[in-house]
Chains A and B, each alone.
Chain A
Amino acid sequence: MGYAIVQVLNALSFSALLLLTGLGLSVVLSLMNFVNLAHGAFYLLGSYVAVLWLASGAPWWLAFPAAFLAAALAGALLERFPFRRFYARPHLMQVLLTYGISVILADLMRWGFGAQILTPELPAALRGVVFLFDMPFPLYRLFLIGVGAVLGLLLWLLLDRTLWGAALRAAVTDRGIVETLGIDTRRLFAAVLVLSAGLGGLSGALGAGMLAAYPGLDEEVLILALITVVVGGLGSFGGTVAGALVVGFALTFSKVWFPEFANVVAFSAMAGFLLLRPHGFVAPPLRQV
């Protein structure tokens, strides 16, 4: 009983991490039709910032806003040049550009933070453990589940229920018309990219306690985020939530039942699913340009 509950919680906590990383990626993809392969680099930057912040002795909870701001700043700079010039270009050009940038960022981070593996000094408040029917479950992972749920909800409200979100969605559908209404769409798109980069950094800060931080993690995370977004349905918000849950549960329970073939089982299942539903869980509201 305890075993099953803890394994479900394991899956949920991993799903929360996938959701956080996937959201940043899917926001720019769904709202701006922009493929950003540098997202993993924003994640890793957030991890490094959080590790350094938590080691510095400053109030621990500020590590998360700090990581958000650091990555958002990096996003803002990159948005001005060169991302902005590629919004209207085909996906392939965007992939080439952002992949190149992610390689540059990875080397800069290796130079700045070193090649060794870093882990955050978790605050005492998060280091505890809860026992469910005699099976231990770390408090930190409950925190991860909670934050994932809250952030997902906030983002949905922002994009779906505010005027700003409405303007944004309108700008995606027809940028020209929105411009004639007197809305500066350039600023709107810049804000989305900054938000996405910030989310990447924040998820890096939250995920550091589970995944640590080291060169190469950016790629691993990017791949997980891409899988999440693709399985969920390219660029729909609800799809990303569904994708995170499916991938999180598939990867966790394949480890429980077939530890030896965990990746084979999980990824074949997802590939099979995509064959049946090529558009993922939730069909995208995307116009292909």
Chain B
Amino acid sequence: MGMLHPRDALHPATLAPRPAAGRRQVLGGLAAALAGLPLAAPALAQAQPLRIGMITSLSGPFTALGESMRAGMQLLLAQSGNRLAGRPVEFLVEDDQARPEEGARRARKLIGQDRVDLLCGVISSGVALALRDVVTEARTPTFLLGSANDLARKAASPYIVRPTKTNWMLGSTAARWAREKLGGARVLTVASDYAAGREYVGDFVETYRQLGGRPGRTLWTPLGSADFGPLLTTIAAERPEAVYGFFAGSDAVRFLRQWQEYRLAGRVPLIGPGAFFDQEDVLPAVGDAALGAFSTFHQSPTAPASAAFNRAYMATGKPLPGEFSTTGYVCGQVIRALLERTGGTLADWEAARAALFGAPVETAFGTMPFDPRNGQAILDIHVNAVRRGEDGRMVNTVVHTYPQLRDPGPDA
């Protein structure tokens, strides 16, 4: 029922024995000297713990995704010994319940009361857009993981870094793939009627038409549909040559299960953005209903860059990782890279930002350069096919990669 307000906080500083102050300062000074920076300020900065605040959904419709995101970040912090660039890390997590006004309130609390040095997180794009003004006004460096196109366009902010995809990256590449592989077949589109669904389908249809494909009828259905039977019967009666669709979480599970029950699986090719067939959230719950489906995604457990993360994540007792555990981990990798490049300080955000955008970061999504115009990551987009793995489980398997996709950003 989601009335829980978890305030899970990890306080490694209180768990680990504190070194004597003198030694700490000497070590800090040494590290700063090695980094070739002035002595005093970084030494002070390193004496203080670094507070990272995460806002994610730990109740409401995205509970499982939020828990994955937190687990990914926690794994990275554990691997780094709960220190980033020499500073001990305090990790505070707040629950946005997938509601924009709640997310904004939690962000104000983390910034004003807990005095975090930086913020990260967010599953829902609605919450991401609500946070945009809060963090920009407060000038808090924020690693925002929602994927609405506007976050890289109208709503871009100098205080926001986006180490994840935009919806356009997935919708447009799916259209390119469909054009190449299906030869411009009549593709019906169907999606949950909310921001992400509108963007995926809109970008797919627009790109597909530009490339000379024939988009078919578009069907929308409210978010959180209990029963997809009527919709699937309508789709069956339309007899499309292929279907491009998007549903997330429990909607995706119901749609895919019923897609199979109504005997559309295996008969009509199904394409979608990767979250529709998320490795962790959706595939384990749908049996072989999604077998043979294609998706475009920046994440794949079979992408070479993800291999080391897969092993570490599964060693903690988790399944093969999906989007949000990887995103949480990658976000941590980007934060770590940024801090290492600045010697652990965020005092001059302008310089820190320039340092991050100066060279790509190696992440579990692959080599990640940033677009300095909007702080948006430039990403490899994989085409994943749902295939049966060696142990019989369904695995999103990379069959093609569109390298280094860059959102049109402010030009769009």
Hey, which bits of chain A sit against chain B, CB under 8 A?
3, 6-7, 10-11, 13-14, 102-103, 106-107, 110, 115-119, 121, 127, 129, 135-138, 140-141, 209-212, 214-220, 224, 251-253, 255-256, 259-260, 262-263
Contact = CB atoms under 8 A, between A and B. Distances in A.
A47 to B, nearest CB: 12
A103 B2 CA distance: 7
B354 interface: no
Contacts of A212: 250, 253-254, 257, 285
A255 B3 contact: no
A217 B225 CA distance: 11
Contact of B231 (A102, A129, A217, A255): A255
Q: Which of A3, A10, A11, A259 has the most chain B CB atoms closer than 10 A to its own CB?
A: A259
B285 A7 contact: no
B1 interface: yes
Given A210-B254, A262-B222, A14 B229 contact: yes
A250 B284 CA distance: 33
B2 A215 contact: yes
Contacts of A214: 64, 249-250, 253
A138 to B, nearest CB: 4
A259 B234 CA distance: 10
12 contacts: A117-B281, A119-B257, A135-B236, A135-B237, A136-B236, A138-B261, A210-B227, A210-B254, A210-B258, A212-B250, A216-B60, A255-B231
A10 B64 contact: no
Contacts of A110: 63
Interface string B196-239: 00000000000000000000000111101111011101101100
Contacts of B286: 119
B285 A218 contact: no
A89 to B, nearest CB: 22
Interface residues of A, dominant DSSP: helix
B282 A13 contact: no
Contacts of A224: 226
Which 4 interchain pairs have the tightest Cβ spacing?
A106-B1, A10-B229, A138-B261, A255-B230
A96 to B, nearest CB: 13
Contact of B225 (A115, A218, A262): A262
A79 B308 CA distance: 52
Given A116-B285, A117-B281, A141-B229, A256 B234 contact: yes
A10 B263 contact: no
Given A3-B237, A6-B233, A138-B261, A117 B221 contact: no
Nearest to B4: A107
A103 B1 contact: yes
A129 B1 contact: no
Nearest to A207: B226
Interface string B237-254: 100000000000110011
A251 B231 CA distance: 11
A259 B231 CA distance: 8
Given A259-B220, A259-B234, A260-B220, A117 B227 contact: no
Given A14-B229, A116-B285, 11 more contacts: A106-B1, A116-B284, A117-B253, A117-B282, A138-B261, A216-B1, A253-B230, A255-B230, A256-B230, A259-B234, A262-B221
A36 B2 CA distance: 18
A255 B231 CA distance: 7
B285 A119 contact: yes
Nearest to B60: A216
Contacts of A255: 221, 225, 227, 230-231
Contact of B261 (A140, A220, A263): A140
A256 to B, nearest CB: 5
A68 B63 CA distance: 27
A90 to B, nearest CB: 23
A115 B64 contact: yes
B227 A10 contact: yes
B2 A216 contact: yes
B61 interface: yes
A14 B227 contact: yes
Nearest to A248: B227
A10 B262 CA distance: 11
Contacts of A216: 1-2, 60-61, 63, 250
Contacts of B222: 262-263
Nearest to A221: B226
Contacts of B1: 102-103, 106-107, 216, 218-219
Contacts of B282: 117
